[in-house]
Amino acid sequence: MTDIVRATGLVKAFGATRHSRGIVAVDDVSFSLGKGKAIGLVGESGSGKSTLARMLVGLTRPDAGTVEIDGRVRAWRETGRSARLRRAREVQMVFQDPYGSLDRRLTVGSALLDVVRRHGSDQSTAGLMDRVGLASRLLESRPHQLSGGQRQRVAIAKALAVNPSVLVLDEATSALDVSVQAQILALLNEIRVTTGISLVFVSHDLAVVGEVTDSILVMYLGKAVEQGATAEVLRRPQHAYTEMLLSSAPGPDWHPERVAELRAAFVGRLT
Ligand SMILES: Nc1ncnc2c1ncn2[C@@H]1O[C@H](COP(=O)(O)OP(=O)(O)OP(=O)(O)O)[C@@H](O)[C@H]1O
């Protein structure tokens, strides 16, 4: 199977000096992801998942290692419009707080049109709204007039407007109510199945990752301590840290009804 993402030996340290390595946020991490597949990057706060995700997208420059998207190594020195547009088509990212990526002054319609025009995309704003399950009358709305779930759908529509090969979701559903979260995850899964886009879920929530991914990479203190097929990792964790994560799942953020609702949202969709 073709690998769409191939990350090799990624390293990133912050605050390194001549005398200290600083904080090694990501320490020699490698993984690959096939076309139309979904991977979960999991670990506790501070384990390095966001830094790894930011290196995939090109928001953080690796100290060492490479990211290849569709066989092409992402270069840092490339500038110019066409390189920027091509890089945007390789990977898009959706964050936990869509306010960060949505301009409060723009209507949803103008924000989408702006992306479509800049990328010479053949998609219509109404078509994009339809793809993310939003009524086209909301094209006239501004971000603060929408619910959290609707805003996240708009952020996804903006990302899809450039037809990316990969979509990275950094805790993209963490701030949403359980039922809204399940709907957004079901939407992302449907988009993956219909378009063949590859998804990277960054999450501390194993219930989320367990439902929507094919493989899991478990991070601990910057290292990938375990990688494998989702069902295998969840059923037979090889590393004590993964076991701990699994056993500590019923923490403050964990609700039994989340698992039940996620499961319900996926019945019939994953087969
Ligand atoms: N820009 C930065 N400057 C200095 N240290 C940083 C920076 N970004 C991340 N770090 C440090 O790198 C380590 C990994 O952080 P990272 O945000 O990647 O972890 P995470 O697993 O995504 O955690 P969280 O879920 O809390 O975001 C942490 O110790 C963090 O403090």
Query: For the CA atoms of 106, 112, 113, 117, what is the dihedral angle to 10 degrees?
Result: 120
Distances (CA, A) of 62 to 13, 31, 78, 255: 9, 15, 15, 36
- Answer yes or no: is the ipTM higher than 0.90: yes
At residue 270, the pLDDT reads: 37
pLDDT at 21: 82
CB burial class (10 A; 0-12, 13-18, 19+) of residue 53? buried
Summarised one tens digit per residue, pLDDT across range 109-153 is 999 999 999 988 889 999 999 999 999 999 999 999 999 999 999
Q: What is the C-alpha separation between 185 and 172, in angstroms, rounded?
A: 9
201, 209 in Cβ contact below 8 A? yes
> Which residue type sits at 173?
T
Which residues are registered as beta bridge partners of 91? 166
Predicted local distance difference test score (pLDDT) of residue 249: 55
Per-10-residue mean pLDDT for the chain, 271 residues long?
Answer: 92 90 94 97 92 94 95 82 86 84 90 92 92 96 93 94 95 85 91 95 86 93 94 87 72 52 49 36
CA of 202 to the centre of ligand 1 (A): 13
| Ligand 1 atom having least distance to the Cα of 219 | 21
Q: Which residues line ligand 1 at a C-beta cut-off of 6 Å?
A: 14-15, 23, 25, 43, 45-51, 204
**CA 83 to ligand 1 center in whole angstroms:** 28
pLDDT at res. 20 = 85
d(CA 54, CA 47): 14
Determine which residue's CA is closest to atom 4 belonging to ligand 1: 14
Q: Residue type for 53, please? A: A
Q: Which residue has the least CA distance to atom 25 on ligand 1? A: 45
pTM: 0.90
Res 2: pLDDT: 82
Q: Ligand 1: which atom is nearest the Cα of residue 50?
A: 22
Task: Please give the pLDDT value at position 268.
Answer: 42
Atom of ligand 1 nearest to the CA of 52: 18
